[in-house]
Amino acid sequence: MAEVLRDEIISGKLSKGMRIDLDETAAELGTSRTPVREACLVLVHEGLVEVAPRTGVSVVGLTPRDVEDNFALMAVLSGTAAAWAAERGTPDQHKEIRLLSDEVRAAADAGGDIRTANFLFHRAINRASNSARLLILLRQTGRLIPTSYFDMIPEQASCALREHDDIVAAVTARDPEKARRLSEEHLVRAGRAFVLRMFGERESSVVEKSG
């Protein structure tokens, strides 16, 4: 439940100041009021919503800087995962990464939904880092990356696929620094594209200049 509401906030469907009515949301999601209330408490701790005595639950919202920061943090962690996957990954793990990269491309070529294939591909790289601690941090930070990314920006898929090919090549060649750099660039670029789609060119340029 928290995942659904979180993604609606991160993707901009629920914008700053919007009130989340527990009963209405429960009806829309086909559940009771309690799971929605519990989900909102999770989002309070994540800083995505706030609760006031009279107005109830309302969306705090995300600024362009917030979104880019989320992607930048994920980029650092993903870069580390790719570097460690290059160093520590087993031959079987590298083989799985190649196969899943091919599956992302096959899904894209078929005009299908690449979200699941893309998730599995990145998860395979993360797991190949063979670091339980890093996986925990990736899961925590990954919650702030929208699962609907390619639904909102479908034209980014072709660029992402090319970047995947380069990342796979670096990981399987056991070139950790190149794998790190390419993976970080992949996420940073994705973040900038998402800011541009969510907030427009003016806000995106402001973030770039201030960064």
With pLDDT > 70 as the criterion, what percentage of the chain qualifies?
A: 95
The pLDDT of residue 201: 53
Is 83 or 207 the better-scoring residue by pLDDT?
A: 83
Segment 69-95 shows an average pLDDT of: 98
Q: Check whether 172 has a pLDDT greater than 90.
A: yes
pLDDT digits (tens, 9 = 90+) for 5-50: 998 898 888 888 899 999 999 999 999 999 999 999 999 998 899 9
Q: Which residue, among 166, 157, 79, 188, has the nearest Cα to 125 in the 3D structure?
A: 79
CATH superfamily membership of 64-210: GntR ligand-binding domain-like (1.20.120.530)
Q: Which pLDDT does position 205 carry in this prediction?
A: 44
Residue ranges, CATH 1.10.10.10, the chain = 2-59
How confident is the model at residue 210, as a pLDDT? Answer: 47
Q: What is the residue-averaged pLDDT of the chain?
A: 91
List every span in the chain annotated with CATH 1.20.120.530: 64-210
Residue 207 has pLDDT above 80, yes or no: no
Q: Is-contact 38 45, C-beta < 8 A?
A: no
Pairwise pLDDT comparison (183 vs 62), residue with the higher score: 183
Q: pTM for the full model?
A: 0.84
Architecture of domain 2-59: Orthogonal Bundle (1.10)
How confident is the model at residue 206, as a pLDDT?
41
pLDDT of amino acid 156: 86
Give me the mean pLDDT over the 68-88 stretch: 97
Strands 19-20 and 56-59: antiparallel
Give tens-digit pLDDT for 190-204: 999 999 988 885 454
